[in-house]
Amino acid sequence: MSGERTAADLPLPGGDFRMLVTRLSFQGMMSLGMLENPLTGKKASDEKSARMIIDDLLMIREKTSGNLETEEAEHLNRVLESLEVAWAELDKGDSVAAES
């Protein structure tokens, strides 16, 4: 066997709170149509999934309140703020489209 390493040899990141929040934020951004879905190569919004992810992050913030390091809490708050702004824009766009 050669000394070359493959992706399968590398450990998967886990157990890191900021990484968890980041992974959820990517799912949220994809659900909001901000990022391409890597499986389809297309951007598409899924409002129910986006709302679910935002609600999950809000629950995580509530349940971990007072137990996070400053950097972790700040990261979670930044992610939530970004997703909630994008959600409001998406929701506002849907309201305008429904009125037309």
Kindly provide the b/e burial profile for residues 5-41, where b requires at least 16 CB atoms within 10 angstroms of the residue's own CB.
Answer: eeeeeeeeeeeebeebbeebbebbbbbbbbeeeeeee
Within a domain: residue 2? no
Question: Which phi and psi (to 5°) does residue 76 adopt?
Answer: -60, -45
How does pLDDT run across 6-41, given as a tens digit for each residue? 767 766 667 789 999 999 999 999 999 999 998 999
How does pLDDT run across 44-88, given as a tens digit for each residue? 999 999 999 999 999 999 999 999 999 999 999 999 999 999 999
CATH at residue 49:
1.20.58
What is the rounded distance in angstroms from the CA atom of residue 25 to the CA atom of residue 9? 26
Within a domain: residue 10? no
Within a domain: residue 5? no
CB atoms within 10 A of CB 80: 19
